[in-house]
Structure 1
């Protein structure tokens, strides 16, 4: 086997090894942002820290607002084609939300996904809106997180059926909150205050997202903790995306004995901030063109992660009413829905999906896969269709590469003659080969180009399959009902023929008893390798012989959709290489090389 083919196979193995180690040891760095002082007033008995409209940090403020324990507060039902749940009149919190279109698992009878949950549940997660008191106002003069609101208008929150909440502070200020929701995942919250006093008042509207509780590993229960996936705070500030992992948010701990510290973003015109998980997200979105302060913080005493938006202070004259409208996204990170919201003015909202380092490839690859699936209606066949299109785009490069490889085969006798003439003089041998390549117009590195192109495409598709919700629980056929999960088949269920599950993913048994897809992957890599004779060097021959089976076990725990892509890619590559090399006069002896491999003796090339 010539050096060019040895280098080609070696480049494949080393490229995968380098990329994998790189992603493990050097995950993408978090963007650095400025840490500033937050403006916080601690309210006794509140679950969250509410912002202040003033520039100083106040002492704990007692409130006289009417409150009820959370479990006793009246609730208003939320019901849309895609959402169900309720909001509490205690604080007017949007704190119970289920996603009708998504189930926890593919098991029969599995419950639908719960996104938001009220205080007192295992992992409380909710949205609160309110007003931060300005100069001359005390905390009791504005509604707080536990204020008991009255349902003034409407009975149930749904599409085209908004509700209105009201609260009178008893001192001449009447607050109202109109909440509406669209057909997908966007809530619109309009807060207003009517000033019936004899003096001017000032206050700042805010929104808060709060998540309670941390797990034993220091993060919220249910998080995936994958190094290739961002989970935590995500925000957009005038075109700049910021991502802060939950572990880093804990660095912004609120110390009640000192001035509170938080991660603060001053937004001039457009932005948003919230929490993102693997497939779900909640986001506070002020109106485009609004200046506001966005903050991320953590309260270690109550174990609460918190993001907030505080808009500019409004001055309300006697007899006047002031209002402000903001939005809340709470739902699945669906590409189509998020893209539509971006078109409606939410700046760069599509970047809330974690496209990764290769975003310039990930975005168009997903777009293409999405549109193919819209035509075919099956994500498994769509992945194979995507593979065909990618291979067609890369065909000119592959053609030149395989033509070059065929010419290298033709030059094999002359190269062997050069080696014998040069003996141990490697410099003389290299000079002779370079002259030969130049004379015959052969590029020895051309064979590596398709491999180098495949590496970013492979990892971009891996990112697409792993991150995007469109691949979550996407079925193909038979036992393959979730292409975002590892192959569920194994010898233990006769590769899906028997009606029971194989070994659980991420267990030792799953690593040994791999499914049919990883097995087909190993076979396809092995056949592709047999297009060329085995190396004459015994050590190299052994390494290359084991390589397909090492990759088979290594990729066995990957998403089955990715393995489908790789099988299709190997099959198409084998066919292309075989036909192109034959058209150039070189006839790969696949069966002869297989037979030679079993005999453990290298086979010479046949023409």
Structure 2
């Protein structure tokens, strides 16, 4: 009867953990990217991600781009064009990144013209009296046919009052445009103008924003990264969110992509975010400037539009004096651990040429560093096993007197020099490492669509190979909840073996929970990034090997378990 009660309690607790986790994980800890492949009829085929747009939308975008005069630009990482109507940067694709893992996949489109289903663009200008400043309908004249890293392009327009406006675009070989606005007063009267810039996007990001991985409006104001503004805030407040700040930057961040406006210098800015009819805007306005007749003033802004490559963001922050640009990757509390792990993992990747092997080598490194502590853990476990008969005798002797039982057990620990908590130390130390690797796997652009071996073509996505549909031989795709992949099953098995080698818990209910928990972990981890499961399996195998080695050196420890 007691065993049945313990089993029921263990099942109930495990179910609460499993279903509670399923309900909260997408908001608290987004598990992985959408599946990159589908296995059917024994064959692996790429699947479209949510970012892939239907063909009619792509045609609409292409038509919209072709309908206006433009200045094209291209470098090793992006290609696109500047719209001469309005002087907007509203056409940009990331040529290094495909929408899917297919070899012929179209590149990721980041910016699109106004009026297209996923409009996303940047514009720059001056505010002033109506008719004296350029607007969205102004047609600019370009001084060159194309923008390249070697040849900047300047757009020009003159107002009826004689104000001569110029926007000079320069692009580097990666993702940075430097936009220099100038206005010369060729009229007879002084003019007061105010430079501005904005990024506008229609609709929210398809990426999920969570408490530990912000997606949406973001900026650095008053030397601090601000992740507090979200889509809902802007939808509910017509006034938007405004910040008065000396310098800084603002824009929109997706999981892997970023647009950011960073006015040069530390001049006072009125910056912030607003929403209107499904469109969201990040904008800034600098201080007004009075321009005397014959005088010229100018204002410069750095516009980043590209992939959040960690090293590049830090380089840009230093090169262009953009404060905390690297914070666009929401590292969170463990940044001090996460960035070194990322750099080491990247170094291992360049060494091996495979992120899966790099993760395995990272696991070996972590286990090697924790080896002395793990040895103390196993010795503590061994000591606990040896004193278990004495503890059972105490439990039997004082089963009716719980306070006395606790006193006697503590006295036993002291006499035998046993610390029951010592075995938890390696696990506690691995928690921040595990979480840091989780953040690296879900946030770093460098991990996106990285293959491992065999059927694993994307380490940032869940394992697609599942026995539920006979490994793709049955013509159906199982629901996500039960589509347990091969690697999560191996994880459950290795976790079970590891638990079996640990000292048996004195409480029968805890014994049942430890027998069930490996399979609960299997379900919980099924939708996590495959790279994270590779790390956990490798760690489990190394732990089992270390325990087996210790038992081989101290056979009495194993005898004590029987």
TM tier, shorter chain?
0.7 to 0.9
2:522 paired residue number = 552
How far apart are 1:564 and its partner, in Å?
Answer: 0.5
2:134 paired residue number = 143
Of 70, 82, 88, which aligns to 2:77? Answer: 82
Q: Are 2:247 and 1:263 aligned? A: no
1:203 paired residue number = 193
Of 249, 255, 265, which aligns to 2:234? Answer: 249
Q: Are 2:380 and 1:404 aligned? A: yes
Deviations 1:296-332 (A, max 9, x none): 01113xx320011111112212111111111100000
How far apart are 1:418 and its partner, in Å?
Answer: 2.7
Mean alpha-carbon deviation: is it higher for 538-547 or for 471-480?
Answer: 538-547
C-alpha spacing 1:501/1:165, structure 2 compared with 1 (3 Å): farther
Partners of 1:121 and 1:428 lie apart in 2 by 75
How far apart are 1:398 and its partner, in Å?
Answer: 1.6
1:42 paired residue number = none
RMSD of aligned Cα (Å): 2.9
How far apart are 1:562 and its partner, in Å?
Answer: 0.8
2:125 paired residue number = 130
Contact 1:406 1:585 (8 Å CA) reproduced:
no
1:574 paired residue number = 544
Partners of 2:476 and 2:447 lie apart in 1 by 22
Deviations 1:68-95 (A, max 9, x none): x987431111111111111100110000
Partners of 1:422 and 1:222 lie apart in 2 by 60
How far apart are 1:240 and its partner, in Å?
Answer: 1.0
How far apart are 1:538 and its partner, in Å?
Answer: 6.0
Contact 1:175 1:192 (8 Å CA) reproduced:
yes
How far apart are 1:577 and its partner, in Å?
Answer: 2.7
Of 92, 95, 98, which aligns to 1:100? Answer: 95
Paired positions, count: 516
C-alpha spacing 1:355/1:13, structure 2 compared with 1 (3 Å): farther
How far apart are 1:425 and its partner, in Å?
Answer: 1.9
C-alpha spacing 1:577/1:70, structure 2 compared with 1 (3 Å): closer
C-alpha spacing 1:502/1:564, structure 2 compared with 1 (3 Å): farther
Deviations 1:183-208 (A, max 9, x none): 11000001000111122211111101
* Secondary structure, aligned partner of 1:337: helix
Partners of 1:194 and 1:79 lie apart in 2 by 30
Partners of 1:286 and 1:544 lie apart in 2 by 56
Contact 2:205 2:216 (8 Å CA) reproduced:
no
Of 190, 208, 217, which aligns to 2:180? Answer: 190
Q: Are 2:406 and 1:416 aligned? A: no
Partners of 2:373 and 2:465 lie apart in 1 by 36
2:223 paired residue number = 239
TM alignment of 1:360-375, pairs within 5 A:
360-375=336-351
1:181 paired residue number = 171
Contact 1:406 1:584 (8 Å CA) reproduced:
no
Mean alpha-carbon deviation: is it higher for 568-577 or for 541-550?
Answer: 541-550
Partners of 1:312 and 1:409 lie apart in 2 by 73
Q: Are 2:503 and 1:527 aligned? A: no
Normalising by structure 1, we get a TM-score of 0.79
Q: Are 2:332 and 1:356 aligned? A: yes
Partners of 1:93 and 1:438 lie apart in 2 by 74
C-alpha spacing 1:442/1:70, structure 2 compared with 1 (3 Å): closer
Contact 2:467 2:485 (8 Å CA) reproduced:
yes
Listed as ranges, the gaps of 5+ residues in structure 2 are: 1-9, 30-63
How far apart are 1:284 and its partner, in Å?
Answer: 0.3
* Secondary structure, aligned partner of 2:396: helix
Partners of 1:371 and 1:491 lie apart in 2 by 35
Partners of 2:244 and 2:380 lie apart in 1 by 57
1:61 paired residue number = none
Partners of 2:131 and 2:381 lie apart in 1 by 80
* Secondary structure, aligned partner of 1:456: helix
Partners of 2:225 and 2:205 lie apart in 1 by 25
1:66 paired residue number = none
2:292 paired residue number = 317
Contact 1:234 1:242 (8 Å CA) reproduced:
yes
Q: Are 2:404 and 1:428 aligned? A: yes
Partners of 2:430 and 2:518 lie apart in 1 by 17
Listed as ranges, the gaps of 5+ residues in structure 1 are: 1-8, 29-68, 215-219, 254-260, 590-603
Contact 2:65 2:91 (8 Å CA) reproduced:
no
Normalising by structure 2, we get a TM-score of 0.85
TM alignment of 1:495-506, pairs within 5 A:
495=471
Partners of 1:191 and 1:569 lie apart in 2 by 55
Mean alpha-carbon deviation: is it higher for 387-396 or for 124-133?
Answer: 387-396
* Secondary structure, aligned partner of 1:512: coil
1:115 paired residue number = 110
C-alpha spacing 1:208/1:227, structure 2 compared with 1 (3 Å): same
Partners of 1:15 and 1:461 lie apart in 2 by 26
